[in-house]
Protein backbone atom coordinates (compact mmCIF):
# COMPACT_ATOMS: atom_id res chain seq x y z
CA UNK A 1 0.00 0.00 0.00
CA UNK A 2 1.36 3.40 -0.92
CA UNK A 3 2.10 5.94 1.87
CA UNK A 4 -0.83 8.22 0.99
CA UNK A 5 -3.26 5.32 1.11
CA UNK A 6 -1.79 4.19 4.44
CA UNK A 7 -2.21 7.71 5.87
CA UNK A 8 -5.83 7.76 4.69
CA UNK A 9 -6.52 4.35 6.25
CA UNK A 10 -4.97 5.43 9.55
CA UNK A 11 -6.95 8.69 9.54
CA UNK A 12 -10.15 6.74 8.88
CA UNK A 13 -9.38 4.27 11.68
CA UNK A 14 -8.65 7.06 14.16
CA UNK A 15 -11.77 8.98 13.20
CA UNK A 16 -13.98 5.89 13.41
CA UNK A 17 -12.65 4.95 16.86
CA UNK A 18 -12.94 8.52 18.13
CA UNK A 19 -16.53 8.84 16.93
CA UNK A 20 -17.49 5.34 18.10
CA UNK A 21 -16.29 6.29 21.58
CA UNK A 22 -18.84 9.09 21.88
CA UNK A 23 -21.94 7.60 20.27
CA UNK A 24 -23.46 4.24 19.41
CA UNK A 25 -21.93 2.53 16.42
CA UNK A 26 -25.31 2.30 14.70
CA UNK A 27 -25.48 6.12 14.68
CA UNK A 28 -22.18 6.64 12.85
CA UNK A 29 -22.33 7.75 9.25
CA UNK A 30 -19.81 7.50 6.47
CA UNK A 31 -20.04 11.27 5.94
CA UNK A 32 -19.10 12.19 9.50
CA UNK A 33 -16.21 9.71 9.55
CA UNK A 34 -14.96 11.21 6.26
CA UNK A 35 -15.22 14.75 7.66
CA UNK A 36 -13.35 13.78 10.82
CA UNK A 37 -10.67 11.94 8.84
CA UNK A 38 -10.37 14.64 6.17
CA UNK A 39 -11.02 12.21 3.30
CA UNK A 40 -13.66 11.74 0.61
CA UNK A 41 -16.43 9.12 0.56
CA UNK A 42 -14.64 7.46 -2.34
CA UNK A 43 -11.56 7.07 -0.14
CA UNK A 44 -13.71 5.65 2.66
CA UNK A 45 -15.18 2.99 0.36
CA UNK A 46 -11.72 2.01 -0.87
CA UNK A 47 -10.91 1.04 2.74
CA UNK A 48 -14.23 -0.15 4.22
CA UNK A 49 -17.78 -0.98 3.25
CA UNK A 50 -19.48 0.45 6.37
CA UNK A 51 -18.64 2.26 9.62
CA UNK A 52 -18.92 -0.97 11.64
CA UNK A 53 -16.40 -2.66 9.32
CA UNK A 54 -13.99 0.23 9.73
CA UNK A 55 -14.29 0.16 13.53
CA UNK A 56 -13.76 -3.62 13.50
CA UNK A 57 -10.68 -3.14 11.29
CA UNK A 58 -9.28 -0.48 13.64
CA UNK A 59 -9.87 -2.70 16.68
CA UNK A 60 -8.28 -5.66 14.89
CA UNK A 61 -5.06 -3.66 14.51
CA UNK A 62 -5.02 -2.93 18.24
CA UNK A 63 -5.94 -6.53 19.07
CA UNK A 64 -3.06 -7.78 16.92
CA UNK A 65 -0.75 -5.87 19.24
CA UNK A 66 -2.53 -7.45 22.23
CA UNK A 67 -2.03 -10.89 20.72
CA UNK A 68 1.66 -10.20 20.18
CA UNK A 69 1.95 -9.03 23.80
CA UNK A 70 0.43 -12.25 25.17
CA UNK A 71 2.18 -14.68 22.80
CA UNK A 72 5.01 -15.56 25.17
CA UNK A 73 3.19 -15.32 28.48
CA UNK A 74 3.20 -18.37 30.72
CA UNK A 75 -0.05 -17.53 32.47
CA UNK A 76 -3.52 -17.69 31.01
CA UNK A 77 -4.74 -15.24 33.65
CA UNK A 78 -2.06 -12.69 32.69
CA UNK A 79 -3.07 -13.04 29.03
CA UNK A 80 -6.71 -12.47 30.05
CA UNK A 81 -5.68 -9.33 31.95
CA UNK A 82 -3.89 -7.93 28.86
CA UNK A 83 -6.97 -8.58 26.69
CA UNK A 84 -9.37 -7.10 29.24
CA UNK A 85 -7.13 -4.06 29.72
CA UNK A 86 -7.48 -3.37 25.98
CA UNK A 87 -11.28 -3.75 26.27
CA UNK A 88 -11.33 -1.44 29.33
CA UNK A 89 -9.29 1.19 27.46
CA UNK A 90 -11.74 1.01 24.53
CA UNK A 91 -14.83 0.37 26.69
CA UNK A 92 -16.76 3.29 25.18
CA UNK A 93 -16.24 1.90 21.68
CA UNK A 94 -17.20 -1.64 22.70
CA UNK A 95 -20.23 -0.44 24.71
CA UNK A 96 -21.31 1.65 21.72
CA UNK A 97 -21.24 -1.53 19.65
CA UNK A 98 -23.61 -3.43 22.00
CA UNK A 99 -27.15 -3.93 20.61
CA UNK A 100 -27.63 -5.83 23.12
CA UNK A 101 -24.75 -8.02 21.93
CA UNK A 102 -21.63 -6.85 20.15
CA UNK A 103 -22.02 -5.96 16.49
CA UNK A 104 -21.10 -9.05 14.48
CA UNK A 105 -17.86 -7.74 12.90
CA UNK A 106 -16.54 -6.56 16.27
CA UNK A 107 -17.55 -9.79 18.01
CA UNK A 108 -15.83 -11.75 15.23
CA UNK A 109 -12.59 -9.80 15.67
CA UNK A 110 -12.57 -10.47 19.41
CA UNK A 111 -13.42 -14.15 18.96
CA UNK A 112 -10.65 -14.61 16.36
CA UNK A 113 -8.06 -13.08 18.69
CA UNK A 114 -9.20 -15.11 21.70
CA UNK A 115 -9.36 -18.32 19.64
CA UNK A 116 -5.89 -17.74 18.19
CA UNK A 117 -4.51 -17.14 21.66
CA UNK A 118 -6.14 -20.33 22.95
CA UNK A 119 -4.77 -22.30 19.99
CA UNK A 120 -1.29 -21.03 20.81
CA UNK A 121 -1.82 -21.93 24.48
CA UNK A 122 -2.75 -25.49 23.50
CA UNK A 123 0.29 -25.73 21.23
CA UNK A 124 2.52 -24.75 24.12
CA UNK A 125 0.64 -26.90 26.65
CA UNK A 126 -0.56 -30.02 24.80
CA UNK A 127 -0.98 -31.83 28.11
CA UNK A 128 -4.16 -29.86 28.87
CA UNK A 129 -5.90 -30.60 25.58
CA UNK A 130 -9.18 -32.45 26.06
CA UNK A 131 -9.18 -36.02 24.75
CA UNK A 132 -10.63 -36.74 21.31
CA UNK A 133 -14.23 -37.91 21.40
CA UNK A 134 -15.13 -40.45 18.73
CA UNK A 135 -12.56 -38.90 16.36
CA UNK A 136 -14.39 -35.55 16.39
CA UNK A 137 -12.28 -32.41 16.24
CA UNK A 138 -12.47 -31.78 19.99
CA UNK A 139 -9.72 -29.14 19.91
CA UNK A 140 -11.64 -26.95 17.45
CA UNK A 141 -14.83 -27.36 19.48
CA UNK A 142 -13.06 -26.58 22.75
CA UNK A 143 -11.39 -23.47 21.33
CA UNK A 144 -14.62 -22.21 19.72
CA UNK A 145 -16.55 -22.83 22.94
CA UNK A 146 -13.98 -21.05 25.11
CA UNK A 147 -13.55 -18.12 22.70
CA UNK A 148 -17.30 -17.61 22.33
CA UNK A 149 -17.81 -17.87 26.08
CA UNK A 150 -15.02 -15.42 26.78
CA UNK A 151 -16.49 -12.85 24.39
CA UNK A 152 -19.97 -13.37 25.87
CA UNK A 153 -18.50 -12.80 29.34
CA UNK A 154 -16.80 -9.63 28.10
CA UNK A 155 -20.19 -8.43 26.79
CA UNK A 156 -21.77 -8.97 30.22
CA UNK A 157 -18.86 -7.15 31.87
CA UNK A 158 -19.24 -4.22 29.45
CA UNK A 159 -23.00 -4.01 30.02
CA UNK A 160 -22.44 -3.96 33.78
CA UNK A 161 -20.48 -0.73 33.46
CA UNK A 162 -17.70 -2.17 35.62
CA UNK A 163 -14.09 -1.48 34.75
CA UNK A 164 -12.29 -3.70 37.26
CA UNK A 165 -10.03 -5.84 35.08
CA UNK A 166 -8.85 -8.03 37.97
CA UNK A 167 -12.43 -8.88 38.97
CA UNK A 168 -13.44 -9.62 35.37
CA UNK A 169 -10.37 -11.83 34.90
CA UNK A 170 -11.19 -13.84 38.04
CA UNK A 171 -14.84 -14.18 37.00
CA UNK A 172 -14.03 -15.32 33.46
CA UNK A 173 -11.40 -17.80 34.62
CA UNK A 174 -13.74 -19.15 37.33
CA UNK A 175 -16.30 -19.88 34.59
CA UNK A 176 -13.70 -21.52 32.33
CA UNK A 177 -13.49 -25.30 31.99
CA UNK A 178 -11.11 -26.74 34.55
CA UNK A 179 -8.91 -28.37 31.92
CA UNK A 180 -7.97 -24.92 30.48
CA UNK A 181 -6.44 -23.99 33.81
CA UNK A 182 -4.36 -27.13 34.47
Determine the Cα–Cα distance for residues 112 and 144; give it in Å rounded to an integer: 9
pLDDT of 131: 74
Contact 95, 55 (CB under 8 A): no
For residue 1, pLDDT beyond 90? no
What is the per-residue pLDDT for 100? 87
Mean pLDDT, rounded, for 18-31: 96
Does 27 score more than 80 pLDDT?
Answer: yes
pLDDT at 93 over 90: yes
Please tell me the distance from the alpha carbon of residue 141 to that of residue 110, in angstroms, as a whole number: 17
With vertex at residue 108, the alpha carbon angle to CA 102 and CA 112, rounded to the nearest 5 degrees, is 135
- Per-residue pLDDT tens for 99-149? 889 999 999 999 999 999 999 988 888 888 877 766 667 888 889 999 999
Q: Once rounded to an integer, what is the mean pLDDT over residues 41-69?
A: 96
> Is the pLDDT confidence value at 179 over 90?
no
Helix residue ranges per DSSP H, 21-103: 30-37, 41-47, 51-70, 76-89, 91-96
Mean pLDDT calculated for residue range 12-31: 97
Distance between CA atoms of residues 51 and 49, nearest Å = 7
Most confident of 13-27, 120-134, 166-180: 13-27
Contacts of 95 (CB under 8 A, 6+ apart): 158, 159
How far apart (Å, rounded) are the C-alpha atoms in residues 53 and 105? Answer: 6
Structure pTM?
A: 0.91
Amino acid sequence: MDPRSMRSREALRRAALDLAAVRPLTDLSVSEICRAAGVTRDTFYRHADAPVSLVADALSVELAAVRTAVADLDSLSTAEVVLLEHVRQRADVYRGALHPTLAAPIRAVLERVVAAGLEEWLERHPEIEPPAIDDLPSREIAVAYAAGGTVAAIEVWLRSGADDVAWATRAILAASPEWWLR
